Structure 1
């Protein structure tokens, strides 16, 4: 059994135990995605999300955020109200969600629309939404990067320390707001009736809105994943361009490093992604020419 199939088997075991504790029948469930979290579709329009170990607090906050957004009429993925959650099994958190209606992938326009709604909300008062941590789990991901040499991991740890210093020294920007924390086109979808819906709420917190805006700028200018016209649409819809801000390069570099650390963690579980990690590291070190770079999406 490969490491990847072992991870899948473990997720199925957790799903089975959590489903029975929630008085749900897991028979007929199907795996939708196995990445940072495992997503399963159960009969009856239920989606179960199985976290990695140690994410119970984040799961509790995500459930609270989803219910707060629903109460404030911000389109976002909704929890199942009839289940007491999250449920913890073997240190992993399982949360339960309403399956989305028919939808299509997000665009720069839908991300800008969703972020405008989110950033305009006053922070919640009924629970502590926490502060943004752009470096959450990065040290752990570096440690899990078992396909890399110790020299590469040492460079990553040094680079991480430098990025933390740069973040602490960010210049003044827009007033802090509730931020999504991982706002890119993969975390916003458009329903068939044209509604932009936010997904993956586990990093919602208080922080600089520029953090959310930087993700789309990275998509445009680091990865050439959207066109300049798409980016201009994003800026026009949100009504702010983050790229001229003096702190933009720091946030861009942090976002790029997060993407690299995620790939390194995935490669540690599935070595077929090792070359992609080496490519990303070479780019960050200035060994692969100027942006945009061609990175392959890692599941």
Structure 2
């Protein structure tokens, strides 16, 4: 049975495609999560953002074009289309479909981040500054499957993390950062490329924010081994866990993962137990890291 969310996304896709002079007939749903992804005939991927994300999507388009001019392997926009197109408050973009691919290794993530962080900031577009708390308040508000007391704790914890972030110690020189550099957003294609995905959070900020994602993968949720992390550090040339500000960024990243799960659970109650687990971990009720968290879409 087609869900109401998919029906709404297809309506937006149809209207946007007609304005872009593309044919959405036969569009195949790939994923319905934070963004709706559809595969159109001819190797086109359509991406539909949630309402209110037009500015972030416009920035993502600008970043994709900037990276292409610097020969940095990243997802590429479908050519000849003026985008994004906004329909009912939702921004739609079209991209070239990647060759078959899989999640990148720790080595590949490190290499991709090193190349990105070494780029001079763009002058042709304003990528803005990193906001590690973007949309967290909204996600807490959307977490309707949680108790009021849980949401109150999350808002209080968010305020504590914001205060800690404001006092971050000095670290590496600021650079362009990916903003959401977990292993799933760096993929290895069957034709031998390592490609950056999901560019909507690219911005200027501390490179340590990107590096923390892999450290969390290793030491917070045991998604990769300590040996994998050692390979990552050697390839990138810096160990973020040795920095005095690491625990603050780690805690923010873990909280972002929890807020995302809470938003998903509001739309899919089967995920509610995962949110409760994550909250218990953050409160210190499930022992020390690593914790066993189940991925949510």
Q: TM-score, normalised by structure 1?
A: 0.98
Shift of 1:103: 2.1
Equivalent position of 1:253 in the other structure: 251
Equivalent position of 1:131 in the other structure: 129
Shift of 1:91: 0.1
How far, CA to CA, are the matches of 1:5 and 1:112 in structure 2? 39
Shift of 1:105: 1.8
Question: Are 2:83 and 2:93, in contact at CA under 8 Å, matched by a contact in 1?
Answer: yes
Equivalent position of 2:71 in the other structure: 73
Q: Which runs of 5 or more structure 1 residues have no equivalent in the other structure?
A: none
CA offsets, 1:119-168, max 9 Å, x none?
A: 00000001111000000000000000000011100000000000000000
Equivalent position of 1:104 in the other structure: 102
SS class of match (1:52): coil
Shift of 1:102: 2.6
SS class of match (2:257): helix
How far, CA to CA, are the matches of 2:108 and 2:192 in structure 1? 9
- Answering whether residue 170 of structure 2 is matched by residue 172 of structure 1, we say yes
How far, CA to CA, are the matches of 2:9 and 2:48 in structure 1? 7
Q: Which runs of 5 or more structure 2 residues have no equivalent in the other structure?
A: none
Could you tell me which of 276, 279, 288 is aligned with 2:277?
279
SS class of match (2:65): helix
Equivalent position of 2:35 in the other structure: 37
How far, CA to CA, are the matches of 1:7 and 1:259 in structure 2? 22
SS class of match (2:253): helix
Equivalent position of 1:200 in the other structure: 198
Shift of 1:194: 2.7
SS class of match (2:208): helix
- Answering whether residue 62 of structure 2 is matched by residue 83 of structure 1, we say no
Question: Are 2:169 and 2:245, in contact at CA under 8 Å, matched by a contact in 1?
Answer: yes
Shift of 1:226: 0.2
1:15-30 to 2 correspondences below 5 Å? 15-30=13-28
Q: TM-score, normalised by structure 2?
A: 0.98
Shift of 1:78: 0.4
Q: How many residues align?
A: 297
How far, CA to CA, are the matches of 1:155 and 1:257 in structure 2? 12
How far, CA to CA, are the matches of 2:85 and 2:181 in structure 1? 26
